[in-house]
Structure 1
């Protein structure tokens, strides 16, 4: 049986739980998002910095496992939930003809000091679909070459949409601007690309550090 990738975005409705202790609550959320046996394995899980929002990437072999995760969550609080079907960006890049040496599917470790979640929405007025795909092939090659050179990033394409979600870790936030503005899609089609960026942190790091770490 094959698997599918799903992105879950959970926004906690704090108004439904007055006096919510967010760190303790998110510790419970973290527990439910650890996956349900082999049926649903979590690849990444992050807290959006400064917001009562969690984003997680799951590889799902049996959708019932994920549904049981969500059933457990519904017993501890009320959420606005968005579930987005994804594909590995490497698979998309392969279809675009990118060098196979760059397209091995392997979720990347994100270990540097700052992590950002970028959402790209690509339009293409004035271009044909063939022209867009040719440009996107150059884009994919550039992004995956940067990863091969040591940039910490993990990329996912939304199925059947011209949208990409990127998680990038860096010690220098300005590097994210530098990378985003040098990408071929921005260089040659930038007026038609909308980017949203959020700072995120590993959910487990948040739930551990918020309860114990002293701030100097």
Structure 2
């Protein structure tokens, strides 16, 4: 069986004039309707006129069709970012003791309505070696807690870049700041945390 194609599709509404029911909410609802159940996840970025969706598909025509249908509905800025399985980064992490950490079957689920979305990315203010060291320590923490069932997290690697997108739900008994501290947050590599709502 071939590997699924993965994409992060970002759709931002550029204009809603309020005429004939043309509002940000109607455009959000329209884009959500077009995506339907074709995406693994779809989120509304809280406080922004933006939807993001994660697709895992066998055929890229699904993403192309969704993109075309959304753009026909009005002025959306649509960006498609190719992703790869986080597990495929195992070889890069292997030198840090990560061999076979991803081989156990751990459920991949985000059950909460609200989710934090953040990036882990290389910052040119630090050396590659420092990034690799920080990344190895933080990734080990994330993966360890995920495997022990202490958190719900989905991790997607951007194809060809030292960047991942992570999505995580907190428990009912913690606040968002405490939840993010579980990752041993390091501002040199963690970027752009946003809260999103599952649609």
Range of TM-score over shorter length: 0.7 to 0.9
Q: Secondary structure at the match of 2:111?
A: coil
| Partner deviation per Cα, 1:124-161 (whole Å, 9 max, x = no partner) | 6564x466445533332221111122211111111111
Corresponding residue for residue 120 of structure 2: 120
Whose helix fraction is larger, Structure 1's or Structure 2's? 1
Determine if contact 1:88/1:105 at 8 Å carries over to the other structure: no
Corresponding residue for residue 24 of structure 2: 22
CA distance in 1, matches of 2:32, 2:168: 21
1:199 matches 2:198: no
Against the structure 1 CA distance between its residues 126 and 169, is the aligned structure 2 distance closer, same or farther, given a 3 Å change threshold?
closer
Corresponding residue for residue 56 of structure 1: 53
* Structure-2-length-normalised TM-score: 0.80
Moved more, 25-34 or 4-13: 25-34
CA distance in 2, matches of 1:195, 1:131: 16
CA distance in 1, matches of 2:135, 2:120: 12
Q: Secondary structure at the match of 2:182?
A: helix
| Partner deviation per Cα, 1:79-137 (whole Å, 9 max, x = no partner) | 1111111112222135422142444576722223531111222236564x466445533
Deviation, 1:8, is 0.6
RMSD of the alignment, in Å? 2.6
Q: In structure 1, list runs of 5 or more residues that go unmatched.
A: 36-40, 204-216
CA distance in 2, matches of 1:63, 1:113: 28
Corresponding residue for residue 156 of structure 1: 156
Q: In structure 2, list runs of 5 or more residues that go unmatched.
A: none
Q: Which runs of 4+ in 1 moved over 6 A?
A: none
* Structure-1-length-normalised TM-score: 0.75
